[in-house]
Amino acid sequence: MRACAGRGTRTSSVKTLQRRASIRVSSSTHETMATLVVTDNSDQRLRSATRQALSAPWAPSSFHVNVHPRGDAYIFGRETRRITGTERLRDEVSGATFLMSPTAFFQTNVRAAEILVRLVLDAVPADVSVLDLYAGAGLFALPLAKRGQRVTAVEANRAAVEDGEASRRVSRIPPEDCRFVAKPVSTFTPAFADGLRRGRLVPAVILDPPREGCEAVVLDDVFGRIRPADAVYVSCNPETLARDLQMIVRHGYAIQSMQPVDMFPHTPHIETVVAVRRT
């Protein structure tokens, strides 16, 4: 009985140590980045398993270990250690080079991301500056800057901002053409709206919020105070998109186009690009 209990304890311990593994593959360079998420970085079995993985024929181009001891809903913890390879994975989207760190968000389906970028660029006038809210690592900001537009990209996640700035440099985009602001959108938009009273030109606006959608204060600031002639809303959640569009329309905007993009076939996950114009 003690032996059986012992085997059960070891199995449970292994499961507790490893939470998940994340693997990214570059569509342009075919590099691979693997990130092992564990609850404890000091366990000797982790070192042994890492050595075996890195000596295998299928070893990734870069390997990272992320420590996430808390039992919350987040995928990654705060501490990430590079074991081997580069700090970031390189990929190409719409003429811009992107450098992605292990824990920062980037669209998994790069081919579908190309479609998203094309739809957004088609909806944004080419002769105006752009305010990119919830910008992430600059999926829309960098291609817009490559097209010759001045972009201000606002993102609360500092890891994503660092990736965006690194991508801007490697894409050879001048910093004055694409400026990243590491700040929550809900604190940025009130100050930006106040600045318009001093004669600042109104840019086109892109909103690409998380699944929860936009905060009400952001929608009020953008469509009630900044009032761009054109705006694009990129949504990953049809329910919150419908809710937010009701508020946008009440502010005096009309929907010009709405295009869903199937990000993960055979799943309910879609992105929708909606272009609106002030009436």
pLDDT tens for each residue of the chain, 279 residues long: 333 333 333 334 444 576 677 788 887 778 888 887 887 766 667 777 777 777 777 778 788 888 877 777 677 777 788 888 888 888 888 888 888 887 777 777 778 889 999 999 999 999 999 999 999 999 999 999 999 999 999 999 998 999 999 999 999 999 999 999 999 999 999 999 988 866 667 899 999 999 999 999 999 999 999 999 999 999 999 999 999 999 999 999 999 999 999 988 888 788 999 999 999
**Domain check: are 9 and 99 in the same one?**
no
Token pair, residue 218, equals 């952001």
pLDDT score for 54: 78
User: Choosing from 4, 178, 214, 236, which is the catalytic residue?
Assistant: 236
**Domain check: are 272 and 251 in the same one?**
yes
Q: Give the CB-side neighbour count of residue 162, counting CA atoms within 13 A.
A: 10
Phi, psi of 139 (to 5 degrees): -55, -40
The Cα angle at residue 141 between residues 137 and 143, in degrees rounded to 5: 110
CATH code of the domain containing 203: 3.40.50.150
Last residue within a domain, chosen from 21, 52, 86: 86
Last residue within a domain, chosen from 86, 121, 147: 86
**Domain check: are 58 and 111 in the same one?**
no
236 part of the active site: yes
Check: CB of residue 154 under 8 Å from CB of residue 132. yes
pLDDT score for 43: 66
pLDDT score for 106: 75
**Domain check: are 269 and 148 in the same one?**
yes
Tell me the three state secondary structure of residue 217: helix
pLDDT score for 199: 61
The residue whose two tokens read 């824990």 is 103
pLDDT score for 198: 64
Q: What is the pTM of this model?
A: 0.80
Name the domain count of the chain. 2
**Domain check: are 68 and 185 in the same one?**
no
Q: Which domain holds residue 44?
A: 2-86
**Domain check: are 125 and 80 in the same one?**
no
Which of 275, 236, 278 is closest to 122 using CA atoms?
A: 275
**Domain check: are 213 and 268 in the same one?**
yes
**Domain check: are 150 and 197 in the same one?**
yes
